[in-house]
Amino acid sequence: MEKLALHFGAGNIGRGFIAPVLQENNFRVIFVDIDEKLINKINKEKKYDIRYINSEKETKTIKNIEGISLSDTENLKTLVEECKLVTTSVGPNYVKDVVNTLVDNNSGNNLSFIAFENKYRCSTTTKSECKVDEKNIYFIDAVVDKIIPIQDSELLDVKVEEYGSIILDEDHNSPLIESDVVTYGNYEYEFKKKLWMLNGFHVCLAYFGLSKNLKYIHELFTNSETREFTETISMNYLESISLLGHEETNKIENYKDTIIDRFSNTEINDELIRVARNPFFKFSKNERFHGPIDLLLKNNRSVDGFSQLLEVLFDYDFSLVDGFSEFKNKVLNLGKTNMYKSYWNQETNVDLYSESLGF
């Protein structure tokens, strides 16, 4: 029997990744979005194609789709009362708005909520932030991974990479069946593995590539000046995840190789300046750069790749990167020792950090 799912966010991630997964789970999918022009196009065409870049996989046609404007409050309330699943791809800053809308329009319907966002425990964290106490709404955390390049068309059709992964917290109920894309696992480990090995590796490649006047991520794997760095930093990340002790090394190596294959995809055209933005957050304590460094240093392991990247951050001007000027003024200009002590709060480990990363 077909169930109803509301998906907030009718953009490329929603159409190109989440909607097909929901349909494969026998959900009738209705998009909710603030963009009325997009919603009108969805309701008029009722289908679109997903094309897989650099892949022999056949184009997939998504049919029988519908949309509703966020401003259509009367019909939205009716749909919230009918649905069994609410999902999002609106960006982490807007999930609170979705949860508040959901709570305001639900008077007792049992449903599940999954935020498919790149934020730590986005579903349950938002539940706490919104002070939700409804027992009939089940909040499920997810680690989601899919690269969808910037689209240059106003069509509903979407170009995506073939790889896609959704890992749901095994400690919650199970609204989606397991498949090649959907699995259940240890959320803490899976989130950290993706944050470090994919997101961390990604930002390191971005800054190193920018220092060599490159434009796209894939160029680092063919450029002779950068290829050695990609190998060094990827091995640093692999070793840091291995130290967590949750998975066999060969499985982590396969994950690393998959990431490299994805980043090497010449059709994605992943711009370095986009990946590098917001460095003040991305290089902060326990984040995708510092987290693995700390674990490696405390286990007496090599941080050669991280040390190289740190030199790049201090030596080059990346003022065109969104947020870099703030990062430079508040962190880099104060020197490495202050970075360890104040930015990373490593007052008692300054000597350990300085010995491997420099003064």
CA distance 15 to 135: 30
| Identity of the residue numbered 245 | G
Quick one: pLDDT at residue 36? Answer: 96
Quick one: pLDDT at residue 298? Answer: 97
Instruction: Name the pTM for this structure.
Output: 0.93
Quick one: pLDDT at residue 323? Answer: 98
If we measure between CA atoms, which residue out of 327, 220, 224, 343 comes closest to residue 293? 343
User: Is residue 28 within 8 Å of residue 110, measured between CB atoms?
Assistant: no
Quick one: pLDDT at residue 326? Answer: 97
If we measure between CA atoms, which residue out of 31, 65, 20, 32 comes closest to residue 46? 65
**Domain residue limits, the chain:** 3-185, 188-357
Average pLDDT of each block of 10 consecutive residues along the chain (359 residues)?
A: 92 97 97 97 97 91 97 96 97 97 92 96 97 92 94 90 96 90 97 98 98 97 95 98 95 97 94 97 98 98 98 97 98 98 97 96
Domain 188-357 = CATH 1.10.1040.10: yes
User: Is residue 228 within 8 Å of residue 124, measured between CB atoms?
Assistant: no
Quick one: pLDDT at residue 1? Answer: 65
Domain 3-185 = CATH 2.130.10.10: no
